[in-house]
Amino acid sequence: MKWALRVFAFLDFFSFVLMFEQGFDQLQSFFQNQTFTINEIFARFLFLLLWLSLLFSAIFLAIPKKAGIIIYFFQVLPRIIFLVFSVGFISYISHYVAINNLDQILIPIFIFIEMLRLYFSYNIKKELF
């Protein structure tokens, strides 16, 4: 079971790295003189929380600690809102393969895989902790 947590940690860290530019841009937007609506502020703040929590969940899952799984449980809804899936990096194949609507095919598969990860994380939490 600990190997599964380490795989999840790698996937979270990989997602953090792939989202680095977006996260840094969101962080910079708070320090610029721009006016935002309350919804934009909330969305940017939620995205930043998700982005930073990916790093912390990767660290805690690699150790493995119960806190990593708990952080992941809080990440599930923002992951679906912002389409930040554990295996979302697979969507980069749409840049190289010319299949129409490949992203529309992959998104339900990614959501299913994310729900499988949630199920496995819950079972691991019950078994190990």
**Length, in residues, of the chain:** 129
Q: Using 50, 70 and 90 to split pLDDT, how confident is the model at 23?
A: very high
Assigned token pair, 77: 């809804």
pLDDT in tens, 74-100: 999 999 999 999 998 888 888 888 888
- State the SS3 of the chain: CHHHHHHHHHHHHHHHHHCHHHHHHHHHHCCCCCCCCHHHHHHHHHHHHHHHHHHHHHHHHHCCCHHHHHHHHHHHHHHHHHCCCCCHHHHHHHHCCCCCCHHHHHHHHHHHHHHHHHHHHHHHHHHHC
pLDDT in tens, 25-78: 999 988 888 888 999 999 999 999 999 999 999 999 999 999 999 999 999 999
Q: Are 61 and 72 in contact (CB under 8 A)?
A: yes
pLDDT for 112 equals 96
